[in-house]
Amino acid sequence: MPSSSPIALVTGASRGIGRAIAVELASAGYDIVVNYVSRDDAAEETAALITEQGREALLVKADISRAQDRERMIEATRTRFDRIDTLVNNAALAPRERVDLLESSQEHYDRTLEVNLKGPFFLTQSIARWMVEERRAEPDRKLYIVNISSLSEYTSSVLRGDYCLAKAGMGMLTSLFADRLGEENIPVNEIRPGIIATDMTADAIANPDFKEQRVDPTPLGRLGQPEDVAMGALYLASDESSFVTGAELVIDGGWTAQ
């Protein structure tokens, strides 16, 4: 028997932006599949926050770059909820090290592209097939796909070229699936966050010059918080955005406007 509540699968929901999105969607009535890859403790904290909202959390430890992990995650979701309404492609690897474009390795390139682009592509493909089944069974169901991209989608950083390439690919992933799934009335959109205070950016933010050089000059003059991005994801996973697809929502405190 399918769950009576909407279900959102959020990748990389154990920490940072993914956790904030999971909690925000839970507060709006979604039960959440909390995907993560290694941090059981953090995933359990996310689950507790979801439970506080009166919603259910299903923890699935799965590496989104691995086909068998993605299949196991979908199978676990089917077994527990027998339903999918929203996919949020949030998980990504930060560059392990900053390496000049002329020195970067194929191994690092492959790993970054596998996690940050190939994994999301094939997860979206699998979930989209399932959503099409859902649409056939229930023509009025609201179904959404939200991708988390980055300013790196169009701004080059020569010390993390592979990350930029993966995020540029994420932009086309959004366009492709928006185009293909429009006929199924499944909106596919993306958020481009600016600099958000999470573990991914903690080292950079800890640099004593960071605030003066990277934050103060931006129009709003403050760092983004995961909740800033989560509010955008909530909009894109709700009927409020029913005429929006293939779009980019920039949540960067005005960084792009400079």
What radius of gyration do the chain's Cα atoms show? Answer: 18
Considering only residues 31, 56, 63, 228, which one is a binding residue for ligand NAP as defined by CB under 6 A? 63
Considering only residues 22, 91, 146, 249, which one is a binding residue for ligand NAP as defined by CB under 6 A? 91
Count of residues making up the chain: 258
Beta strands at 144-148 and 188-193: parallel, antiparallel or unpaired: parallel
Count CA atoms within 13 Å of residue 162 on its CB side: 26
Contacts with ligand NAP, 101-140, as mask; x by CB under 6 A: --------------x-------------------------
Q: Is 150 in the site for ligand NAP (CB under 6 A)?
A: yes
Best CA proximity match to 173, nearest among 129, 134, 131, 123: 123
In our burial notation (b when 16+ CB lie closer than 10 A, e otherwise), range 51-75 reads eebebbbbbbbbbbbeeebbeebbe
Among all residues, which ones are annotated catalytic? 163
Query: Least CB distance from residue 123 to ligand NAP, whole Å?
Result: 10
Contacts with ligand NAP, 1-20, as mask; x by CB under 6 A: ----------xx-xxxxx--
Residue closer to ligand NAP by CB (options 8, 134) is 8
What is the C-alpha separation between 149 and 1, in angstroms, rounded? 35
Q: Is 199 in the site for ligand NAP (CB under 6 A)?
A: yes
**Can you give the binding site for ligand NAP, defined by CB under 6 A?**
11-12, 14-18, 35-39, 42, 63-65, 90-94, 115, 148, 150, 193, 195-196, 198-201
